[in-house]
């Protein structure tokens, strides 16, 4: 009886592969959360202080903590029945904790450190604890128990770092490294080995849709930042030009992502004999893709607010580095789906990097235009190669 009650939590053959309305509701928190990440990055760059690199590293750490919460929640709803009351409670509780993390983020390394850490640990420790109890004696309970033990160990530096400010950067870096090491290694335990996500049974189509939705959330955040910056500015012709180029760049990111590989991700996962392996790899890839989009969005705000003059060296990280990071991750994504990489994406990354010294001598709007031209050339090349050809079928080497 206990095994049957635990098995009721697992996805069955009649489960819909589509994301539920509750999951889409959950994603709304991350629209706000990603704006907090962007605002922190903008504040870091605008300060121009000697601690710029440290502050940027802190923002990256907070973003990685948010991604950990979102990605593991996506895996939970791909492995367990999202319509069950226990899983719905997990999603709603994770949603509230994520909102608290986002609210605390601007001052997470200052007076809101305890709030941020406790909210994060409420998900990281509370979620596997609840699932372990709900699964009862079901064999899958061993996986959630592993995650619980690793999260409990990582909770120590999270809490100590929150309470002792001088140790916070080092201990939080260690804690997050433990969380990501557990995820990458499969939360190994002595004598029991590991349980890597690559070997999990998941609803592949559902997982693909969740990655695509989070990518769209990141694009939506750039639209939000672009609109807010332009509407709050002088509404000048130069700002209007930067605003227009920013929108075009966002549309190009969308086009490049969904061309072929992004379009057939669900099919690739559905056809895979080991969807967990492809899903795990795609998770890391989408982390970098989203990071590239966020950096690009920060570049939009910097350019719209200061469309003319000289481009500051740190701005190139966002205006040129963001699209370059996106293209590099998109090239890996293409390899995951088709086992090849288009030369145009590699050339695009190299060209964007090569434009950095040139961009330092040009106005920010012109630098943004150059980045958009590179992306437009890649999108046009994709379209020309695909014209008249049937949709390519996935052939993942994974």
Parse the chain into domains and list their residue ranges: 2-195, 204-386
Q: Tell me the whole-structure pTM to 2 decimals.
A: 0.93
- Percentage of the chain with pLDDT > 90? 67
Answer for the pair 148, 189: CB distance below 8 angstroms, yes or no: no
Banded pLDDT at 393 (limits 50, 70, 90): confident
Among residues 77, 91, 71, 396, the alpha carbon closest in space to that of 266 is found at 396
SS3 171: helix
Report in angstroms the alpha-carbon separations of 21 from 14, 83, 95, 263, 279. 17, 10, 13, 22, 22
- Residue 225's nearest CA partner among 337, 173, 302, 316 is 302
Q: What per-residue confidence (pLDDT) applies to 4?
A: 62
Report the SS3 class of residue 82.
coil
Please state, rounded to an integer, the average pLDDT across all residues of the chain.
90
Choice among 93-102, 205-214, 261-270 with the minimum mean pLDDT: 261-270
Separation of alpha carbons 229 and 63, rounded Å: 22
DSSP 8-state symbol, 12: -
Q: Which residues contact 54 (CB under 8 A, 6 or more apart)?
A: 169
Contact 292, 326 (CB under 8 A): yes
- Nearest-10 Cα torsion for 152, 157, 163, 169: -140
Q: What is the pLDDT of residue 262?
A: 82
For 262, which DSSP code? Answer: I
Q: In the chain, how long is the greatest CA-to-CA distance?
A: 72
Q: Contact, 359 vs 370, CB < 8 A?
A: yes
Asked if 29 contacts 94 with a C-beta cutoff of 8 angstroms, the reply is: no
- Name residue 10's beta-bridge partners: 80
| Degrees to nearest 5, angle at CA 290 with 106 and 245 | 90
Residue-wise pLDDT for 12-65, tens only, equals: 655 667 788 899 999 999 999 999 999 999 988 876 667 788 999 999 999 999
**Phi/psi class of residue 102: alpha, beta or left (left: φ > 0; alpha: ψ in -120 to 50)?**
alpha
| Cα–Cα dist 371/367, whole Å | 6
Do 328 and 288 contact (CB within 8 A), yes or no?
yes
Instruction: Name the class of domain 204-386.
Output: mainly alpha
pLDDT attached to residue 13:
54
Compute the distance between CA of residue 92 and CA of residue 216 in angstroms, rounded to an integer. 21
Q: Which residues does 29 contact at the CB level (< 8 Å), separation at least 6?
A: 95, 98, 99, 102
Which string of DSSP letters, residue by residue, matches 90-111?
Answer: HHHHHHHHHHHHHHHGGGTTTT
Q: What is the pLDDT of residues 300-356, one digit of tens each?
A: 999 999 999 889 999 999 999 999 999 999 999 999 999 989 999 999 999 999 999
Alpha carbon 264 to its chain's center: 19
pLDDT at res. 264: 86
- Euclidean distance between CA atoms 181 and 178, whole angstroms: 5
**Tokens representing residue 151 in the block:** 């999260």
The closest of 353, 390, 386 to 370, measured between CA atoms, is 353
Q: What is the pLDDT of residue 1?
A: 44
């Amino acid at each position: 009886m206990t095994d049957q009650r635990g098995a009721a939590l697992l996805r069955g053959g009649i489960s819909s592969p589509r994301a539920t309305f509750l999951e889409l509701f959950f994603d709304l928190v991350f629209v706000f959360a990603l704006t907090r990440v962007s605002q922190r990055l903008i504040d870091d760059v605008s300060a121009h202080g000697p601690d710029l690199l440290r502050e940027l590293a802190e923002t990256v750490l907070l973003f990685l903590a948010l991604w950990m919460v979102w990605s593991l929640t996506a895996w939970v709803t791909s492995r367990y029945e999202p319509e069950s009351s226990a899983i719905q409670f997990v999603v709603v509780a994770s949603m509230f904790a994520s909102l608290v993390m986002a609210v605390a983020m601007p001052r997470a390394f200052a007076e809101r450190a305890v709030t941020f850490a406790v909210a994060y640990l409420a998900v990281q420790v509370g979620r596997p604890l609840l699932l372990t109890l709900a699964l009862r004696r079901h064999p899958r309970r061993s996986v959630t128990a592993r995650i619980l033990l690793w999260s409990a160990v990582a909770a120590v530096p999270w809490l100590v770092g929150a309470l002792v400010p001088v140790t916070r950067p080092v201990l939080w870096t260690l804690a997050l490294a433990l969380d990501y090491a557990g995820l990458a290694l499969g939360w190994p335990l002595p004598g029991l080995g590991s349980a890597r996500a690559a070997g999990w049974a998941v609803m592949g189509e559902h997982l693909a849709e969740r990655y695509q939705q989070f990518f769209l959330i990141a694009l939506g955040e750039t639209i939000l930042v672009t609109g807010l910056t332009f509407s709050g500015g002088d509404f000048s012709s130069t700002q209007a030009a930067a605003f227009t180029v920013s929108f075009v760049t966002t549309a190009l990111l969308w086009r490049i992502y969904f061309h072929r590989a992004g379009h057939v991700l669900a099919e690739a996962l559905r056809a895979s004999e080991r969807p967990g392996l492809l899903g795990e790899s795609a998770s890391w890839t989408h982390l970098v893709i989203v990071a590239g989009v966020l950096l690009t969005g920060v570049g939009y705000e910097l350019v719209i607010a200061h469309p003319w003059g000289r481009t500051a060296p740190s701005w190139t990280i966002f205006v040129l580095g963001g699209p370059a990071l996106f293209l590099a991750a998109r090239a890996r994504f293409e390899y995951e789906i088709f086992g090849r990489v288009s030369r145009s994406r590699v050339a695009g990354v190299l060209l964007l990097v090569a434009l950095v010294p040139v961009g330092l001598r040009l106005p920010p709007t012109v630098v943004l235009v150059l980045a958009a031209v590179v992306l437009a050339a890649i999108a046009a090349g994709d379209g020309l190669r695909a014209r008249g050809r049937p949709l390519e079928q996935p052939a993942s080497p994974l």
